[in-house]
């Protein structure tokens, strides 16, 4: 099926180097939906969409299965690090309630325009903020060739970056978003470029995990590549273990339980955390 598209131009007063013309494409997913990407093949994510019309379909199908397990569709897809809406828009196209959080203001603008293009106002809440361990401004660093690689950095790291790749954004805590989640059942996707452990731990995530039924968590787990703090990652893994979640590989050894005792050094994959009582075969 061909990828259909419409081109528009955005003209911010000081355009950062990775933004400019946008293209509205229609995905080849089932169901289809519209999504704005950058109109350039030099940016990784946009190039994939321009050439193929979809991205990470295997993850979308896993999370779709998780959503389908809730009774009467009383479930919310909670997307932390929504980027341009890769997964959030697809779940909305399936007519699920979505809460999507994206920190970068320009990427958030693309997501917002995609929501409007699809008419998803009745089922999507989009929040422009970075979820971290404290409230206040945080520094982020962009990757000029990959808008999916924007990450939180220290003030020192931000200070050495070119101005166009540096971004100051609003930081909020995970607890701040619990009131925005309308259902008890939550399918959580978190991909915040190595910062996950600062958000998912006993101090920061306890309210979410005790007040809601988190039925599964999809996570990009590449902490060593992202130079995440090893002790911080260990606390995140301990939090999942103490709350009786088990990790499974999403690609490579797809559906296989993660048995590593040192995940920081030995795991470099997308993983799915499921309650220990869940039948993993029903997801994979």
pTM over 0.95: no
Cα 201 to Cα 129, 198, 208: the distances in Å are: 19, 7, 11
Strand partners, 187: 77, 216
pLDDT class of 19 with cuts at 50, 70, 90: low
pLDDT at 140 over 80: yes
Nearest C-alpha neighbor of 196 from the set 101, 84, 63, 94: 101
* Kind plus residue range of the DSSP H or E element containing 106: helix 105-118
* Between 271 and 153, residue with greater pLDDT: 271
Q: What structural domains and CATH numbers belong to the chain?
A: 55-282 (3.40.50.150)
CA nearest neighbour of 158 among 140, 133, 131: 140
Q: Which of 237, 233, 253 is nearest to 245 (CA)?
A: 237
Q: Which residues pair with 36 in a beta bridge?
A: 24
> Mean pLDDT score of the chain, rounded to an integer?
92
Task: Find the mean pLDDT for residues 44-69.
Answer: 97
pLDDT at 18: 54
What was the pLDDT predicted at 14? 40
pLDDT of 8 strictly over 50 = no
| pLDDT exceeds cutoff 90 at 278 | yes
Q: What is the DSSP letter of 175?
A: G
- CA atoms within a 13 Å half-sphere pointing along the CA-CB vector of 66: 28
């Amino acid at each position: 099926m061909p990828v259909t598209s419409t081109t528009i131009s955005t003209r911010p007063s000081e355009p950062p180097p990775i933004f400019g013309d946008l293209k509205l494409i229609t995905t080849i997913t089932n169901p289809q939906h519209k999504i704005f990407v950058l109109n350039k093949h030099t940016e990784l994510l946009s190039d994939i969409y321009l050439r193929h019309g979809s991205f990470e379909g295997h993850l979308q199908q896993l999370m779709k299965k998780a959503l389908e397990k809730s009774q009467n569709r009383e479930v919310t897809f909670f997307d932390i690090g929504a980027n341009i809406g890769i997964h959030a828009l697809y779940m909305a196209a399936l007519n699920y309630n979505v809460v999507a959080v994206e920190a970068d203001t320009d990427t958030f603008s693309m997501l917002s325009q995609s929501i409007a293009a699809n008419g998803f106002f009745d089922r999507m809440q989009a929040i422009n903020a970075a979820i971290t361990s404290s409230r206040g401004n945080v520094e982020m660093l962009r990757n000029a060739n990959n808008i999916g690689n924007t990450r939180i950095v220290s003030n020192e790291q931000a200070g050495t970056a070119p101005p166009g790749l540096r971004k100051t954004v609003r930081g909020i805590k995970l607890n701040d978003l619990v009131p925005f989640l309308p259902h008890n059942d939550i399918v959580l996707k978190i991909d915040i470029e190595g910062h996950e452990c600062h958000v998912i731990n006993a101090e920061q995530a306890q309210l979410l995990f005790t007040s809601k039924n988190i039925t599964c968590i999809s996570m990009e787990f590449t902490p060593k590549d992202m130079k995440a703090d090893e002790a911080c990652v260990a606390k995140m893994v301990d939090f999942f273990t103490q709350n009786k979640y088990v990790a499974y590989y999403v690609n490579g050894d797809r559906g296989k339980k993660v048995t590593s005792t040192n995940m920081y050094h030995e795991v470099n994959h997308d993983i799915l955390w499921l309650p220990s009582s869940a039948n993993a075969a029903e997801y994979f």
